[in-house]
Amino acid sequence: MRISGLAERTGVPVATLKYYLREGLLHTGTATARTQALYDATHVERVRLVRALTDSAGLSLGAVREVLAVLDDPPSTRHELLGAAQRVMLAREEGRQQDRPAPGDGPADGPDPWQARAAELVATRDWCPDDDPLVARLAGQLRAAEAAGIDLPDAYLDALAEGAETVAAADVASVPEDGAGAVKRVVVGTLLTDPVLLTLRRMAQQRASADVAPAD
C-alpha cells in the first residue's frame, strides 16, 4: 500500500507517519519511484505499536525508540531479557528526575530512611538485590509521597506489595518461550497493562468505598 493507505489502515495522519520515518521509529518502505514507496503489514504493526506506546502507555518518542531497539535486537537469554526490559522501563520516566533526593534527605545527612525502608521491603520478600536501580526508585517515590503528607504504614505497603505479586505472577506466566515473543510480552505487555492496572484500581476503589460508606 502507499503511505496514504497506511494512514487509512492505522488512523495515523500521513504527516505523522513521515515524522516516524524521519525519526527512525518506522522502517522505510520499498521504493517504487523517487518519491514513492510501498508499505506492508509489518508497517501497520509497527505504527500500531508506536501509537499504543505513546497514547496508552504515555511514553515519549525517546522512550519508544529504546523499546523498539530492544524488540529489534532481543537479548538471547531469559536472564538478559529481564535486565533489558527493566532498563527500558526505568528509562521511561527518566526526564522526571523522581529519583533526585530532596534537600535534607540523603547520605549527607546520615542514612536515608526511605532507602532503608525500600531495601527492607525487597529483602523481606526476596525480590531483588538492594543495589537494584528499582530500589532507589522506590525510595524516591516513598519519599515524595511522605513529603506530600501521605502516610505509608507497613500494613499499607504490604497490601501494595501483595497486589503487585498477584499481577507479577500472571505477568511471568504469560511470557512465551521464544526470545522475540518473550521480550515483547515483558516490555510492551508491562508498559501497556500498567495503565490498565491503574484504571482497575480506581474501579475497585469505587466498590470498596461503597462497601464501607453507602452513598450519603
Show contacts with a copy of itself in window 65-104 (CB under 8 A).
77-79, 82, 86, 89, 93, 96-98, 100, 102-104
Q: How far is the CB of 207 from a copy of itself (least distance, A)?
A: 5
Q: Which is nearer to a copy of itself, 33 or 213 (CB)?
A: 213
Decide: 122 and 139 in contact? Cβ < 8 Å. no
Q: Is 208 in the site for a copy of itself (CB under 8 A)?
A: yes
Cite the DSSP H helix spans in 54-177: 61-72, 78-91, 113-125, 133-147, 154-173
48 binds a copy of itself (CB under 8 A): yes
Q: In 2-24, which positions are buried (b, 16+ CB within 10 angstroms) versus exposed (e)?
A: ebeebbeebebeeeebeebbeee
Query: Is 86 buried (19+), middle (13-18) or exposed (0-12) by CB count in 10 A?
Result: middle
**And the C-alpha cell for 17?**
507517519
- Rounded to the nearest whole angstrom, what is the least distance from the CB of residue 114 to a copy of itself in the complex? 11
Cβ atoms of 195 and 56 closer than 8 Å = yes
Minimal distance, residue 166 CB to a copy of itself, in Å: 4
Task: Give least dist CB 175 to a copy of itself, A.
Answer: 8
Q: Segment 119-148, which members bind a copy of itself (CB under 8 A)?
A: 122, 125-128, 132, 134-135, 137-138, 140-142, 144-145, 147-148
Asked if 107 touches a copy of itself (CB under 8 A), the answer is no
Residues of span 151-180 touching a copy of itself by CB under 8 A:
151-153, 155-157, 159-175
State how far the Cα of 106 lies from the Cα of 115, in Å rounded to an integer: 9
Contact present, 177 and 184 (Cβ < 8 Å): no
First to last CA, the chain: 58
Question: Quick one: 8 or 36, whose CB is closer to a copy of itself?
Answer: 8
| Least distance in angstroms from the C-beta of 172 to a copy of itself | 4
Residues 9-38 that bind a copy of itself (CB under 8 A): 9-11
